[in-house]
Amino acid sequence: MLAGLGMQFRSLEYGDEPKSETPFRIFAALLHRTLGDFTDQLLFAASVAEMFPEARLDVCFRPDRPFKPEIVSLAPQVTSSWETKNRMPIDLFDTAGMRPIVGPEAWYVAGCDAPDLVLTPSMCEREKLGYFEPSARFRIPGSDHWDARLRDAVGDGGFCILHYREAGYEFSQAGTTRNIDTWEVEPVVDVLLRQGVRVVRIGHPEMAPLRQRDGYVDLCAAPFMLQACAISHARFFMEVSPSGPYAIANGFGVPMARCNALIPSGPSTPDSIVLARPVLDGKGKNVTADIVAGGLNPIQFITDNSDHRLGANSIEQIASVAADLIAATEAVSGWRGQPVEAPDDAVEPPFTWPIPKRARHRIAV
């Protein structure tokens, strides 16, 4: 019957789509709370964005820490950021008609509802930052202003950044494993000064004061952006116990030493070193090297092996790591320069997903 109507039945072919001029859109849900985790995810998202000649990076976050908006402002790769104290419904990505939930008009005008890639925290592990060669670089907004303030505070000579975790911080997580006291830090300052490196301490205003001496400057009470500016110009970042600000150093490509580390990760630069907190067996023997070689971290191992305990890095170990880092950064004689922007005609690199884990730093045990 239909044949008599002269109808023809043919296969359908869509053909090649024309090359789109629309930039690659990335949306990153920055859901972590702590400074280090939050910054690591932002740096990961920024690094993914830089893998494309043109990309748009939109981020959202909950302003439950005062430093979050300032950290986001460090990333020039971010096109738009969305702060919300409420829950962000997944329906905001609905691009069909009759949406059950409708967001602000600006959301749709910016194209945030139609990303090509959505990054969640589990996709942005810090262990994967070493994949990017190099990772994205942060920049200080209004750098002239903050440079002038930093020069007033520390002068023109080179310096390193000192930081560690101490009790008293308003947003500290439960547990004291990472906390150390000033008596454990004072010898580290002396070691650095004896090796000709000035020391600038950062942190929170409640941190206990260290002994004043020539070559030591305390910026713990300074604004967050001034401390970030100091990190950006530092010769290296010396962390005596694990704490979140190390991640800011990653964003500026500043080599670091992570001492008394509880996990074997963190840095994303080849000159950086992680000095693991020692694990001691029931007889007091240091078995850290075997644990690290087995792919475990000290906390994980101690949890599973109650007959072992955590020790602490000796000042001799920390001094040895500092000497290595000083030698590796010998070319930085004054302030470290701000990162040079990538050329606009950068060639698109190969892109692998999921991003593999890759370590580019060294382990000291």
- Rounded to an integer, what distance in angstroms lies between the CA atom of residue 255 and that of residue 234? 9
Sequence-ordered alpha helix ranges (H) in the chain: 35-49, 68-73, 105-109, 143-154, 182-194, 224-233, 246-251, 288-293, 298-304, 315-328
Neighbours of 70 (CB within 10 A): 14
Q: The tokens of 347 are what? A: 């060639």
Instruction: Provide the residue-wise pLDDT of the chain in tens; the chain has 365 residues.
Output: 555 566 777 777 666 656 666 788 999 999 998 999 999 999 999 999 998 888 999 999 999 998 999 999 999 999 999 998 888 888 999 888 888 888 889 999 989 999 989 999 999 999 899 888 888 999 999 999 999 999 999 999 999 999 999 876 666 665 667 788 889 999 999 999 999 999 999 999 999 999 999 999 999 999 999 999 999 999 999 999 999 999 999 999 999 999 998 888 888 888 999 998 888 888 888 888 887 777 777 777 888 887 888 888 899 999 999 999 999 999 998 999 876 544 444 445 566 666 777 787 777 76
In single-letter form, the type of residue at position 348 comes to E
Burial of 346 (0-12, 13-18, 19+ CB in 10 A): exposed
For the chain, helix (H) and strand (E) counts, in that order, are: 10, 13
What are the phi and psi torsion angles at 123 (to 5°)?
-90, -10
| Residue 29 identity (one-letter amino acid) | A
- Which DSSP letter does residue 195 get? T
> Could you give the 3-state DSSP secondary structure of residue 161?
strand
**Which two tokens mark 215?**
């070559």
Pairing of strands 117-119, 160-163: unpaired
Q: What is the rounded distance in angstroms from the CA atom of residue 279 to the CA atom of residue 216?
A: 32
State if pTM tops 0.95: no
